[in-house]
Structure 1
Amino acid sequence: MAVLVLDNGAGTAKVGYATDKEPRIIPNCVTKAKNVRTRIFIGDQIDECKDLSGLYYMLPFQKGFLTNWDIERQVWDYIFGKDVFQVNSNECTAIVTEPCFNFASAQEAMNEVFFEEYQFNALYRCNASCLSQYKSHKEESEKNLCTLVVDTGYSFTHIVPYFKGKKIKEAIRRVNVGGKLLTNHLKEIISYRQLMVMDETYVINQVKEDVCYVATDFFADMNVARKRGKENTIARDYVLPDYTHIKRGYVRPQEDTTGKAKDNEQLIRMNNERFAVPELLFHPSDVGIQEMGIPEAIINSLEPIQEEMKPHLLGNILLTGGNCHLPGFDKRMFSDVRKLASADYDVTVTMPKNPTSHAWEGGCLLAKDPDFSKMVVTKQEFDEHGHNICYERFDV
C-alpha cells in the first residue's frame, strides 16, 4: 500500500510518497497578488505569478498552531488533487506531522479531516522531531540511545530530548523564535533605515536567505561593520527585483560595493543586519522577547534529566529545520553550547545534508519499518473506536 509522507510545517509542507527520492516543498499558504485581482495562488502556484511585490498571505498556522482549517484544506486539496500527487486515498496511508503539545481539538479535527473528508485508509500522526530522530538513529547512530533534536522552523524552535526513541516530555523546551520573526524583524529594520518594505514579505524573505548569516563572534563582526570603504568586508549591496527586467533579487559581487545603482536598479545596503537578525535565535532578549536563546534552552532542557543521561544527549545534538540553512548556524550552536555545558561532557552537534527535508526522509524510512503497520490507525478502527484509539497510539 502506498504511503504518503506529509511534513506539514507552518512555513512549507514537505510532501511525497515514501518511494520518492526527495519531497516536493510547497509553501503552506494561500497568496493573493496585487496585479492579479481575480486569482488566488495556492502553495507553489505562486511560481506562476509574474509580479511578486506586495503579496497578501493567508496562513493556516498562527503562532505555530493550525487554526485556519479552511485555508489548510485548500492547500491539502491542491496537494492531494490531480495537479500534484493524485492521491487515491482509499488505498493510501498518510504520515502527518504536527507541533509538540498540539491542542486536543486540533488533533481531533486532524483525525476527522483525514478519515472522514479525505477517506485515507490509515493514518499515523507524530511530531517532526520524532521522524528526524528515527532517521538519524537508523542510519548513523544505532549505538546512540539518546538524541537531542533541535527543530528550528518557521514559527518557533523546539528542543526535544529522546531516549530509545521515546521523547522525554518534561524536558521539551520551546523558544518562540523562528524564521518568520527573523523576516519580520528584517522588514522593520530596512523600513526604518532605508526603504519602506513592510508589505514585501516575499522579497525580504529572499533577502534574508541570500545574505544573512550567523556570526561566530558577534562583537568582532560588529566592529568590522562599523568600518568604511574597503575595510568593511561585511557590507553587501542587494539589488531588488522590479519584475520587468530583474525577476529575482541578487547580491552584488563584493568587489562592486560602490553603493551606486545602475539603470533600473534599486539597491538596499545590507551591513550589520546580515548577522544581527539571525542573532535573535541566540539572544531573543535583544528585541525585548523574554525568552532564552536556543543554546541556553538546550542546557535548560537537561535539568529534569538524570545525570548519567546528560553526556549522551550532549554528545548527539541533531539540528533540523529551515533556519539551519543560515551559514555558520551549526558552528555557532556548537561553540555556544560548549561554553554553557559542563567541561566534563563532550558536545557533538550534527547537521544533516538537507535539514529542511530531514524529517520527511525519516517518515519514508519509517514507512518501510516492519512494525509500521502496528503503529497506524486504520479507517475501520477509527470508525469503531473514535478518537480514543488515536490518543492511545499517537505520541504527540
Structure 2
Amino acid sequence: MSRVVILDNGGGLCKAGFGGDRDPAVVVPNCLGRPTSSKKWLVADQLLSPDADVTSVSLRRPFDRGYLINPDLQKEIWDRILRSLLHADPSSSTLLLVEPLFNPSSIQRATDELVFEDFGFQSLFVGDSPSLVHLYEASRRPPHGLAARAQCSLVVDSGFSFTHAAPVVQNFTLNYGVRRMDLGGKALTNYLKELVSYRSINVMDETLLIDDAKEKLCFVSLDVDHDLQLARKSGKDNPYKCTYVLPDGITHTKGFVKDMDEAQRFLSYSDGGSTMSEMQAEDVLVDTNKAVERKKIDMNKSEFNLTNERFLVPEMLFCPADLGMNQAGLAECIVRAVHACHPYLHPVLFESIILTGGSTLFPRFAERLERELRPLVCGDYRVKIACQEDPIKGVWRGGSLLASSPDFESMCITKSEYEEMGSTRCRRRFFH
C-alpha cells in the first residue's frame, strides 16, 4: 500500500502528516503573508519563523467563509507543505483530505483537479471533520460506555470560519441533522480588532497579532453581568485587566502578554466574587479614573490594555443576537441539531457531545456550554460534554486512524478512476 498523506485543510490552519502517526508533522497557517518591510510573500510556515516580522502583515487566504475560492493560492501552499516540509512524493502517495461540510460541487471539482492533475496523487479519500473526530474519540472511550456501544455522538466543531453541530452515527455524519453558525475564530478576531481600535489603538491591520492576543487572553464568562461589573473596577481590583505588548521591530518582533500572572488572575475568581453593593460603591471612583485615563492616551504607545473585551469576544458564540447578529446561540444550535434526528437518538446525543476546533480552547468553554444547554434539554436526559485533548489536531488524528485501517485502500478513488469517470461520479463514493 502507498504512503498516506493526511491533510486537514482548514480555513485558518493546515495540519499535515502521514497516516499511522499520532500527530501531524506540520501545523501551519493556510495563507500567505507579506510584511510591510518586505516585497516577498511568506508562505505557511515562513510566517511562524522567529525572525518573521508580522507587524501590519498583508494576508492572502485561499479560503473565504469556509470554502476554497482560490485554488492557485492553495496549490502554492500545498506545494510548500508537501515538498519542502513533508518531503512527500505525491505520485506514490494516497491523499486523505478533510473538506468542509456541504462543499459545493464546483469546489469539489477544483479540488480534485488540484489533487490528481496538478500534484498527481495516486488516489484520494475525502473525509469530513465530524466523522473523523467521532472515529478517534470512539477508539479512546471505554467499550462498555453508552456512547461507545451506540456508536453515536454529536460533534461541535468550532473552527476558523464557522461552527457546526453535527450528529454522527456509525462513523457517518447525518447531513440532514447538521446545524451551522456563521461564526468562528476569524469573526472573533475581527471583533477584538474593532474593540481595541475603538477604545485604545488602531490595530485593524494587525490580524496575526490580535489573533495571538485573543488566543492567550480571552476566556468564556460564566456570568456576563457579574463580570461586566467586575471589569468596571480600577487598578488591582479589576481581575480582568491585562496588557498586551506590540512588537517594536528591534527588541522583539512578536507580540506578547506583559504579565501572564496578572492575565490569569481571573481564574481565581468565582461567579459571586463581589457583591453588588461593593461594585456600586466604586462606581464614582471608576468614572473618575476613566476620565483621567482618557487624558493620558498616547496614540504612539506600543501596547494596549484589555478588560471586558476578554470575555465579550467569545460571548459572540453564545449570544450572537446581543451583538446584532441574526444567529442562534451555540446551545440552541446544538438542540436544533439533536431534534432533527430520530427521537431514539436524543438521549445518547446529549450525553456524548464532543468539542473540537480551535475556538473551543477558551477557558471555561465547556462549563458555560453545559450551563446554557441544561435548561433547553429534557430533564430526563443527561448532558455530558467531552473536550478533546487537542481540539486543533483531533480531526487529523481521526484521519490518521482511518488511514491505518485495512479497508482504507478500497475506500479511495484512484487517479485512473478519476480520469475515466470524472469528479462528480467518483465523489459519490464518499456519500457527500
TM bin, normalised by shorter chain, reads over 0.9
Matched, 1:295 2:331: yes
Could you tell me whether the CA contact under 8 Å between 1:295 and 1:333 is conserved in 2? yes
The 1-side partners of 2:55 and 2:258 are apart by: 21
TM superposition shift of 1:390: 2.1
Using the alignment, how far apart are the partners of 2:422 and 2:383 within structure 1? 44
Q: CA deviation at 1:255?
A: 5.6
2:95 maps to 94
Match of 1:31 among 18, 30, 33: 33
Partner secondary structure for residue 180 of structure 2: strand
Match of 2:357 in 1: 321
Aligned amino acid, residue 31 of structure 1: G
Contact 1:52 1:202 in 2 (8 A): yes
Partner of 1:163: 169
Change (3 A) 1:60 1:388: closer
Distance 1:68 1:356 in 2: 23
Cα deviation, 1:312-332, whole Å, max 9, x if unaligned, reads: 000000000011111111111
Match of 1:370 among 389, 406, 409: 406
User: 2: CA distance between counterparts of 1:339 and 1:10?
Assistant: 33
Post-superposition offset of 1:92: 0.6
SS in 1 for 2:75: helix
1:195-274 pair list within 5 angstroms = 195-253=201-259, 266-274=302-310
- Partner of residue 376, structure 2: 340
Change in Cα spacing, 1:41 to 1:149, as seen in structure 2 (3 Å) is same
Q: Is the 8 A contact 2:12 2:160 kept in 1?
A: yes
Report the TM-score, using the length of structure 1 for normalisation: 0.94
Does the CA contact (< 8 Å) of 1:238 and 1:251 recur in 2?
A: yes
Give TM-score scaled by structure 2 length. Answer: 0.87
Mapped to 2, the partners of 1:244 and 1:57 lie a distance apart of 23
Stretch moving more, 362-371 or 303-312: 303-312
When residues 50 and 381 of structure 1 are mapped into structure 2, their CA distance, relative to the original with a 3 A threshold, is: closer
Residue 328 (structure 2) pairs with residue 306 (structure 1): no
Kept in 2: contact 1:50–1:243 (CA 8 A): no
Is the alpha carbon distance of 1:29 and 1:255 closer, same or farther for their aligned partners in structure 2, counting shifts above 3 Å?
Answer: closer
Q: C-alpha offsets along residues 347-380 of structure 1, whole Å, 9 cap, x if unaligned?
A: 1100111000000000000011121122111112
- Secondary structure of the structure 1 residue equivalent to 2:126: strand
| Preserved contact between residue 127 and residue 430 of structure 2 (Cα < 8 Å) | yes
| Letter in structure 2 aligned against 1:35 | S
Structure 1 distance, partners of 2:48, 2:346, is 46
Partner Cα separation in structure 2 for residue 70 and residue 306 of structure 1 = 42
Higher helix share: 2
Provide Cα deviations, 1:232-262, integer angstroms capped at 9, x if missing partner.
Answer: 111112222212113332223356999999x
Please say if 1:79 is aligned against 2:81.
yes
Supply the RMSD in Å over aligned alpha carbons.
2.0
Contact 2:14–2:28, Cα closer than 8 Å, also in 1: yes
Larger deviation, residues 354-363 vs 285-294 = 285-294
Question: What's 2:387 paired with?
Answer: 351
Q: Secondary structure at the match of 1:241?
A: coil
Retained in 1: the 8 A contact 2:130–2:168? no
Contact map agreement 2:132 2:171 (CA 8 A) in 1: no
The residue type paired with residue 23 of structure 2 is E
1:59 and 2:61 are equivalent in the alignment: yes
Report the Cα offset of residue 229 of structure 1.
2.6
Q: Which runs of 5+ in 2 are unaligned?
A: 142-146, 266-288
Moved more, 335-344 or 306-315: 335-344
- Aligned residue pair count: 392
Post-superposition offset of 1:109: 1.4
8 Å CA contact retained: 1:239, 1:265: no
Counterpart residue number, 2:271: none
Gaps of 5+ in 1: none
Whether contact under 8 Å (1:146, 1:164) holds in the other structure is yes
Secondary structure at the aligned position of 1:138 is classed as: helix
Distance 1:74 1:130 in 2: 28
Larger Rg computed on CA atoms: 2
**Using the alignment, how far apart are the partners of 1:144 and 1:2 within structure 2?**
32
Aligned match of 1:183: 189
Q: Cα distance 1:265–1:21, how it changes in 2: closer, same or farther (>3 A)?
A: farther
Post-superposition Cα deviations, 1:62-107, rounded to whole Å, max 9, x if no partner, equal: 11110011111110111111x2112211211100011111000111
Secondary structure of the structure 2 residue equivalent to 1:142: helix
Q: Do the aligned residues in 1 keep the contact of 2:5 with 2:94 (CA within 8 Å)?
A: yes
Question: Retained in 2: the 8 A contact 1:225–1:272?
Answer: yes
1:69 aligns with 2:110: no
Asked if the contact 2:71–2:111 (Cα under 8 Å) also holds between the matched residues in 1, the reply is: no
CA 1:237–1:388 in structure 2 vs 1: closer, same or farther (change >3 Å)? closer
Partner of 1:44: 45
Q: Secondary structure at the match of 2:148?
A: coil
Query: Using the alignment, how far apart are the partners of 1:288 and 1:368 within structure 2?
Result: 46
